[in-house]
Amino acid sequence: MKIGRIRGIPIYLHPSWLVIFALITVSLAEEFATRHPHWSQAQHWSLGILTSVLFFASVVFHEMGHSVVAQHYRIPVISITLFVFGGLARIGREPERAKQEFNIAVAGPLASYLLAIGFWLLTRVFPSSEMFGALALWLAQINFVLATFNLVPGFPLDGGRILRALAWGVTGDYTRATRFASRSGQLLAYIMIFLGIWEALTLHNYIGGLWLAFIGWFVLTAAQESYAQVAIRSALQGLRAGDIMSQELPTVGRDISLEEYGHEILRTGRRCHLVVANGELAGLMTIHALNHVPREQWANTSVQAAMLPRDQIHWAAPEEPVLGLLERMQNEDVNQMPVVANGHVVGIVTRDSILRVIQTRVELGRLAGLESH
């Protein structure tokens, strides 16, 4: 759910955020009721809701810290999403140097520490306001905890990214640094899961223990995905679009109906076709575009009405690195991209074809490893 835009960056709420927002609001209302029993119930709940909103605004501020520094290095920031475990800033590509990685990673915790100091100072500036003081004190404490927790050296936490930047700077090898940082993240995750289960079973703190275990599980999953991304980068290293493109260019006429086009997909299994008219390229037709048209309209709708026009097609050059091409396809949300040389379409690259290359190269790497032993 898109809720706004800051510095050109769209801010989204994941549905899971509603769960954690409700839990934190209830927890805060109960905490304020315990500490300030002379307040009314309306005061407890209104302050709980306001504090929870400001807490998540603080999370956005934390992610904006990362995002502003990334934009400084001309790295596009796709979005910021709030979800059950906090916030996530999605950047368009990885930093090019270790220094960039370090500065982007450390900016988030520094932003949270800045907020912690700011809210703490507010408690000193307005000592007579009991409700305002309770709100500011809690936000100062939680931002301090947020910053400190994120500095734990476990990837993909900010501390893990700082660790990767340091390892990258020392070794000069991004792949080795990421492997090292992701393993530290997996170790941290297993410790968190163990401690969470132990806390739930031994201390009978079921909510706190299970929550710690769930956070550990999330960190473990993210660290494993980061490790997989290293394998992907290694598998695609040195490859260019011209190396993996399919030179078979299936075409369809622009005047056929979507009903006929659907039969063509079922007959051939191809998910993408170039649309031609009078021997010239008119557009690109895909199964994705087909499914955007209601099924009952297929018989009376032509391919030309549903296709992506030629001037809106994203192109690739034969010499473009496949790794950068994959990132571009993800950012532009396309599943296939024609390859153009000297004004002519010479091939087409799809996400499926890139996936097959990754699988093949990973399998060959395992076979080579077995043969070396």
Chain segment 265-324, per-residue pLDDT in tens? 999 888 889 898 877 788 999 898 999 999 999 999 999 999 989 888 888 999 999 988
CA-to-CA distance for 105 and 348, rounded, in angstroms?
Answer: 37
User: Which residue matches tokens 């955007």?
Assistant: 292
Q: Which residues pair with 89 in a beta bridge?
A: 80
- Over 50: is that where the pLDDT of 369 sits? no
- Over 70: is that where the pLDDT of 367 sits? no
- The reply to whether 101 belongs to the active site is no
User: Which residue matches tokens 């140097």?
Assistant: 97
Indicate which residue of 63, 199, 280, 296 is catalytic.
Answer: 63
User: Which residue matches tokens 């993800």?
Assistant: 330
25 vs 324 pLDDT, higher one: 25
Chain segment 85-95, per-residue pLDDT in tens? 788 898 878 89
The confidence band for 330, taking pLDDT boundaries of 50, 70 and 90, is confident
Spatial CA neighbour of 262 closest among 230, 292, 229: 292
Ranking 118-122, 148-152, 348-352 by mean pLDDT, the lowest is 348-352
pTM comes to 0.71
279 vs 153 pLDDT, higher one: 153
Cβ-based neighbours of 307, under 8 Å, separated by 6 or more:
254, 275, 282, 283, 284, 285, 289
Cis peptide before 156 (omega within 30 of 0): yes
CB atoms within 10 A of CB 225: 11
45 vs 248 pLDDT, higher one: 45
Supply φ then ψ for residue 366, to 5 degrees.
-65, -40
Long-range contacts of 331-338 (CB under 8 A, 24+ apart): 331/76, 331/78, 331/92, 335/271, 335/272, 335/286, 335/288, 336/271, 336/272, 336/284, 336/286, 337/241, 338/274, 338/284, 338/313
What CATH number should be reported for the domain whose range is 241-359?
Answer: 3.10.580.10
286 and 314 Cβ atoms separated by less than 8 Å: no
CA-to-CA distance for 254 and 178, rounded, in angstroms?
Answer: 47
253 and 275 Cβ atoms separated by less than 8 Å: yes
Dihedral, 46, 48, 53, 56 alpha carbons, nearest 10: 180
Spatial CA neighbour of 114 closest among 88, 160, 146: 146
- Over 90: is that where the pLDDT of 225 sits? no
β-bridge pairing 280-286 and 272-277: antiparallel
